[in-house]
Each structure stands twice: as structure tokens, then as C-alpha cells.
Chain A
Amino acid sequence: MIAVDPGLFSSLDPPRLAGARCASCGTVTFPAASGCAKCAGTDLARVELADRGTLWTWTVQAFEPKAPYRPASGGFTPFGVGYVDLGDVIVESRLTGDPAGFEIGMAMRLTLLPLWDDVVTYAFGASDD
């Protein structure tokens, strides 16, 4: 199992995302950044992000995007996309599960999504607990 970009994760098993927190103002970025967009600080430390949150907004990618999008093994099928509020940062993410059940405010949990070959990315799906 290989991450689509190792910099996105602090761990793959269990899946955890890596961000950065600004030492001056507390802003949390994703992915980890070296400069703060809020206060222009440059002292940012890597942090592990929460693996649970709530759905902030969502849509479905119903048509196959042009390159550089790379379809999954087996070809393109429509997929969910959304922003998930993790408390100190709102993260954009692929969504798993049936879009018919998507609703702003629903509880979400981090998971891994197979892309192609052994490569995975992060995704959020409905939290079942």
C-alpha cells in the first residue's frame, strides 16, 4: 500500500492525516505548509489531524475530469467530493458511500480509498458509530 503523496499522512495504518499548526496564531493547514496564510508566520510544526468530523458541504463528480486526473483501476465512475470540518481545520476530500445519504452536518470518519495499482488516497465516509 503506497500513499498517493506520503506528505498527506502521518500514518497509513491506522489512517491519519498530517497537517501543520502555526506556532504564532494556531492556524492549522492541510497539507502541512511551511508558511502561515493567516499571520505570515514561518514556525509551523507537523500535527496529526482528527480522523472524525462533520460534512461541511459536498457534491458528486459526475463527469470524468480531464488530466491530470487519473482514473481508478477499472475506469472512471462518479465519486463524492466534499469538505469535512475536523474542528480546527476543514479538509477537502473524496467521499465514500452512496451520495443519496450525504447531508451537511452528518458525522464522517477518515478512511483510505484505493486508486490504482497499490496506491491509496484519503477519503471520508459516513461514521457508523
Chain B
Amino acid sequence: MTEVAIVGVGLHPFGRHDAALTGMAMGAQACRLALADAGVSWGDIGYAVGGSNVSGKPDTLVGVLGLTGVPFVNVRNGCATAGVALATAANAIRAGETDLALAVGFDKHARGAFAANPADYGHGDWYGETGLMVTTQFFAMKDRRYLHTHGLKDRLLAQVAAKAFRCGELNPAAWRRTALSEDEIMRARVINPPLTQYMLCSPSEGAAAVVLARADRAADLCERPVRLAAVAKRTRRFGSFEVFAPWLPPEAGPSPSVDAARAVFAASGVSPLDVQVAQLQDTDSGAEIYHMAETGLCEDGEQQSLIDAGETAPGGRLPVNTDGGCLANGEPVGASGLRQVIEVVLQLQGRAGARQVPRTPRVGFTHVYGAPGISACTVLTS
């Protein structure tokens, strides 16, 4: 099978920007940065995929990037949007449609928790009207169940958030760049207990893009191309505890993160134990904790000792969310998965600056998860 490599990355910093700056404009900037990083022009791109949940149709980007006639696919898959965009672009190269592809994601969200329309998720109006259709409730309830089942302490949620903001402090592109103590995080405003405001990521604005090439051509374009060893995406199976679920069966089933991670490790031939740097969906700090286990990076319950020992910090054995993750960057939903990929690429290339993991890692992993139960994972190697 044709191998695929990432040869250029471009990030429009996540955060809150000028009201007049559109999601689309941030997307265009991310594309231009990625093209420049790869040393290619938009006219060289033979296939493009774009993702946005709320900020317009990505394929209209051709109007500002150039009307080259390039095939352009739009993706709208919740928090997994950018992961799916990346997979689609990589598959176009594998299918022989092009030697050079681009994937971009962008979004510009309103402030505050997301509002959702019950009918969009197949529910009656009652579900929204009675106050059950709130994503942060689910995060809090999945966290509480997970911590209870595996004997983990609530304080672990603050430890994860404190690590995220320490990483954010070292990342010039991060939104939240002020370190906070565990006590400050624990004492902050309660949103949905056990979660306080600093344990939940906020919707934000931003864009991310990558240029992909056939791996056998990548060395011509990039000094240190990063191989996209595998990418996989899955939807939920029966029994998985998901957001916006009025009921669950008593028998638990694997989450889509479990399935997508297993698939990507099997396809890449890499073991979860080989991963040297990881980006996990941390919509809230509890999500980082259980996603460590769902993706196979550790056992259920092992998180307490790993995190207490600092193993998930940049200097540890398994650095997680070294750019501050969703907690420090916020979440422009359509871009978030590509931000993760970009961070791992920079780490594998030794270009991560102050937050660079020591002894440049060679194997990285990324994981996104979104409503109503979808996940996309990648394994990246140098």
C-alpha cells in the first residue's frame, strides 16, 4: 500500500480573536502556512479535504486560495471532524488520486457551552426542554462513574488540568498560558460537579492544516517528513456510554475510542507501549484520564500512579497533550484533531520549542472523540 507522510503543517492559534476575523479566514491562513512549511503552492495540491462544524462550507476556501479545479471534500463529524478530514485526504493519496493532498479544519464558536438541537440527534423536544441535553453533564457523569469504578480520586481531575496549563504556559500558540495550582483549579466555579471551570475546555476559534504526500516523494519536500503510519475512525457500538443518551443498556460495550485505537495500532504494527508522545481528546480533564486507558496507553486505574509520578508531563515516560490540549487551547471543533496531529509532528521533528519532549520521540499517537460517539486516531512515526 502507498505510504503517506506529513510534509507541512500550519496552525492559526486557537483562542478568542477579533470578531471580524472569520473561521474561513483563519482556515485560509492555516492552509497558506502549511503550504509554505512544505515549500509547495496551492496549485500543486491534487486533493483537499476541509472540516468545519459551524463556520461555513470549507470548499469555498478555493475562492481565496485559488480556483485550481482541485477536488475538495467537506467533512462535518463533530469533534472528530479534523481526524476524519485527515483520513480522507490520506486515503486519496493511497487510492492514487494524487501525490499531494491538503487537510484543513477551522471553526469560530460563540462563547459558552454548546447548545444542541434534539431533533439533530434523533431525540424529542422534551430532552432539550427538560435540561438533559448538555454536553458538560455527560462529561461530569462519565468522569464520576469512571473514577468511582476504578478507585481514582477527584483530585486527579485537578492534576490533569494543572499539567495542561503548565504546557500551555510553554506553548506560544496556546490560548490559556497561565499556570494554575491544583488548589486554584479545585476551588474554581463548579460547572457540573466534580468538574470546575478549569477542568472543562471552552469552545474557541482557530484553524489547522497539514500537507500530505506520498511517502516515497516526501523526502524531496521535507527535511524530516513524519510518516502517517495509520489512521482509523469508528462510530459507537452497543453499550458504549455516550453523550446525549436518554438510556444505556446494563451491559457495557467498548467506546468508539477503544475500537479506533485498536484498529490504528493493528494497522500500523505499533504497540501502545511504543508510544512516546500522545495527544488525547481532553474535552474535560476526566476525558484525558479515561482516554489513556480506552486507547490502550495504560490500564484502567493505573492513571493515579502515572500522573502522581509525572509520567504524562513533557519530561515523563508518556507525555500527553504537550501543547496544553483542549484545556489550554479551547476547542474549535473542526480544527482540534489537526492541532493534535501538528503537535505530534513538531515533537517528532524536534521543533516543539520550550515544550519539546527530551530525547526527540519517534512514535506518536493522536486521538479525537466527539458526539454522538465517534473517534479518529492516528499513529505517526519518524
Q: Which residues of A contact B (CB under 8 A)?
A: 4-5, 7-8, 19, 27-31, 37-38, 56-63, 65-70, 79, 81-83, 85, 87-92, 94, 99, 104, 115, 121
Task: Decide if A89 touches B126 in the complex (CB within 8 Å).
Answer: no
193-210 of chain B: CB within 8 A of chain A:
193-195
CB pair A81 B132 closer than 8 Å: yes
Beyond A59-B192, A69-B128, A81-B137, 18 additional contacts (C-beta under 8 Å) are A56-B248, A57-B145, A59-B141, A59-B195, A62-B191, A62-B192, A66-B112, A68-B115, A68-B117, A68-B118, A69-B129, A69-B131, A69-B134, A70-B129, A90-B250, A91-B246, A92-B246, A99-B193
> Which residues from B are CB-within-8-Å of A8?
126
Bound CA–CA A100/B9 (angstroms): 49
B290 to chain A, nearest CB (A): 13
Tell me the count of chain B residues lying within 8 A, CB to CB, of chain A.
Answer: 35
The minimal Cβ–Cβ distance linking A91 to chain B, given in whole angstroms, is 5
Q: A56-B145, A67-B115 are in contact. Are A91 and B130 (CB under 8 A)?
A: no
Whether the Cβ atoms of B249 and A89 lie closer than 8 Å is yes
- Nearest CB in chain B: distance from A52 CB, A: 15
Specify the chain B residue showing the minimal Cβ separation from A104: B148
List chain B residues, Cβ under 8 A from A83: 141, 248
Once bound together, how far apart are the Cα atoms of A31 and B141, in whole Å? 20
Can you name the residue of chain A whose Cβ is closest to the Cβ of B244?
A92
Can you list 9 A-B contacts with CB-CB less than 8 angstroms, sorted by A residue number? A4-B130, A30-B247, A31-B247, A61-B131, A81-B131, A81-B132, A81-B137, A83-B141, A92-B245
Q: A13 to nearest B CB, angstroms?
A: 19
B125 is an interface residue with CB less than 8 A from chain A: yes
**Shortest CB distance A32–B (Å):** 10
